């Protein structure tokens, strides 16, 4: 028996990177995972890999920044897997650039994927959740929400917004039996960061992290599984730093 046996859990932006890693981890522990990604082919590949290992997964190609698309995906997933037990709001667009270079197009795209999708993900979960069981919402913030890093203005604004929204939702949804928490993964090489952080830069980052290494997808997946599990049943409104001590060290 796994910790998440037969629990339908919807994960946005799970076609690669951290979302993909979490999907594999939860499926290995018995969850039925819904893989949502704007790249439908990537979502399908992740679902097929999980199915090949004996897990349960469904894939959906959708723009999670669109309320209509996210709501439809959640409805479809619930119709196949049953009422949802959790949603993981992982989708985002990563762009690092100086403030004077930020364009309206880039900002709109980042806000849609990274912040609007969190609102729609929560609404989609509430509309399709299992009312007879505890619920979970897991959001993604970042160490940049707590440390001012140059050239991350748009990304930091989004992640700081998610940190605040998580606290609001913890208080708002807690009385309904829904826990809302967030993670702040730090310095984890993924496909999404390849165009912005070089291997040499990651090597330098590791030297400045208290644990003297970068994080892994597995580190983040383990933290996510813990926060969604009954072992964390009295944790609500928390921000879990999965960063090797980046935030703490200042």
Is residue 215, in this structure, part of any structural domain at all?
yes
Is residue 193, in this structure, part of any structural domain at all?
yes
Based on the residue annotation, tell me whether 155 is a catalytic residue of this protein.
yes
Is residue 200, in this structure, part of any structural domain at all?
yes
Is residue 3, in this structure, part of any structural domain at all?
no
pTM here is: 0.95
Catalytic residue among 96, 140, 155, 202: 155
CA nearest neighbour of 49 among 68, 61, 33 = 33
The pLDDT tens digits for 23-55 are 999 999 999 999 999 999 999 999 999 999 999
Domain that holds residue 151: 8-244
CB atoms closer than 10 angstroms to residue 69: 19
Say how many domains are in the chain: 1
CA distances from 136 to 44, 94, 165, 166 (A): 24, 25, 15, 12
Is residue 50, in this structure, part of any structural domain at all?
yes
CATH code where residue 200 lies? 3.40.50.720
Is residue 210, in this structure, part of any structural domain at all?
yes
The pLDDT tens digits for 68-94 are 999 999 999 999 999 999 999 999 999
What rounded mean pLDDT belongs to the chain?
Answer: 95
Residue 250 reports pLDDT greater than 80: no
Is residue 250, in this structure, part of any structural domain at all?
no
The pLDDT tens digits for 190-240 are 887 777 788 898 899 889 999 999 999 999 999 999 999 999 999 999 999
Is residue 2, in this structure, part of any structural domain at all?
no
């Amino acid at each position: 028996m796994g910790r998440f046996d037969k629990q339908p859990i919807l994960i946005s932006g799970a076609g690669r990177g951290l979302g993909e890693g979490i999907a594999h981890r939860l499926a290995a522990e018995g969850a039925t995972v819904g893989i949502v990604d704007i790249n439908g082919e990537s979502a399908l590949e992740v679902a097929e890999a999980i199915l090949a290992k004996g897990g349960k997964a469904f894939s959906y190609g959708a723009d999670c920044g669109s309320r209509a698309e996210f709501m439809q995906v959640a409805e479809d997933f619930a119709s196949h897997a049953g009422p949802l037990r959790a949603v993981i709001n992982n989708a985002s667009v990563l762009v690092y650039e100086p403030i004077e270079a930020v364009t309206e197009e880039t900002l709109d795209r980042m806000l849609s994927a990274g912040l609007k999708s969190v609102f729609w993900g929560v609404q989609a979960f509430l509309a399709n959740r299992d009312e007879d069981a505890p619920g979970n919402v897991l959001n993604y913030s970042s160490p940049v929400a707590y440390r001012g890093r140059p050239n991350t203005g748009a990304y930091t604004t989004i992640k700081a917004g998610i940190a605040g929204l998580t606290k609001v939702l913890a208080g708002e949804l807690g009385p309904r039996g829904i826990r809302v928490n967030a993670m702040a993964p730090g310095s984890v090489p993924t496909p999404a960061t390849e165009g912005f952080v070089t291997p040499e830069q990651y090597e330098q980052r590791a030297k400045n992290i208290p644990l003297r290494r970068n994080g892994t997808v597995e580190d983040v997946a383990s933290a996510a599984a813990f926060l969604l599990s009954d072992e964390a049943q009295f944790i609500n409104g928390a921000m879990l730093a999965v960063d090797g001590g980046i935030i703490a060290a200042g």
